[in-house]
Structures are given as structure tokens and as C-alpha cells.
Amino acid sequence: MRVVLDTNVFVSSYLSPAGPSARIMRAVRDGTVVPVVSAELLVEYARVLEYPGLVRLHQMTSARIRQELALFAGFTVPADLGDIPSVITEDPADDVILATAVAGAARYLVSGDQDLLRLGSYHGIQVLKPAGFLSLQE
């Protein structure tokens, strides 16, 4: 099942090892969930993981972050983005998430972002919180 993980879900998996986001990442490693990513989304993951406040929490070095992203990329389906439509005017970075989901033919977009969650769905792609997505897996 193809899914796009919003940056907040990806990052949360490193901050709360027992939380829903970490459970989703375990499903990725088990092959149950197939994440779709674009180069732009991987850059966003790296950028956010490098925030000093988050580094203090997850305690990964820049080299370790690069290793984690490379490992994660091995489980993904790449999506090449063309034009990125403006959908979420309050946060244009969310448009990259939506464009990745569309370009990669994702079935779900998993996010904790209220702007994305308010959409409910986008081009037939269901937008769910991590716990809601996990309930589909059970």
C-alpha cells in the first residue's frame, strides 16, 4: 500500500519510539507499507531533522541522519514532481507533500498537520492521522 508520510510523521518516528509514527516506520521496514517520496520531500525530512532543538531530542549526528535517510530511501517508491500546484496557501511546503502523493499514486497521506487533515482527501488520496492510518492496518 503506497503512502506518503508527512515530515511531522517521519520526524516523530525518531522522537517517540513507541508512538504511532514509529509503528508506521516499522511497517515500512517490514514491507507492509510502501512510502512514496520525492527528492524534495527527502530534503525536507533532512532539513527538519537538523533543527538544533530536534537534534537535542533525537541525538543523531548529521552523518547518522544521512544514513537514516539513505536506509529509508531504500524502502521507497520515488516520485518525480513536475509543477507543484498551490493548494495550501498557509504553508506552501504542504504542497510538496500533496504533489508527491499525486505523482507517486499514493493511496494515503499520513499527517498530523491540520491544514492537510482538513482536506480529508485530495485527488482520491485519503489524508489520515497516524493512529487512523494504523487502524486500517489492523
**pLDDT at res. 70:** 95
Q: Find the mean pLDDT for residues 96-121.
A: 95
**pLDDT at res. 112:** 96
Domains assigned to the chain: 2-137 (3.40.50.1010)
**CB of 79 within 8 A of CB of 38?**
yes
- The torsion angles phi and psi of 92, rounded to 5 degrees, stand at -60, -25
Closest CA to 96 of 85, 107, 106: 85
Residues 103-115 have pLDDT tens digits of: 999 999 999 999 9
Contacts 24+ apart (CB under 8 A), 78-87: 78/36, 78/37, 78/38, 78/39, 78/104, 79/36, 79/37, 79/38, 79/103, 79/104, 80/38, 81/38, 81/39, 81/40, 87/119, 87/122
Q: Find the mean pLDDT for residues 3-21.
A: 96
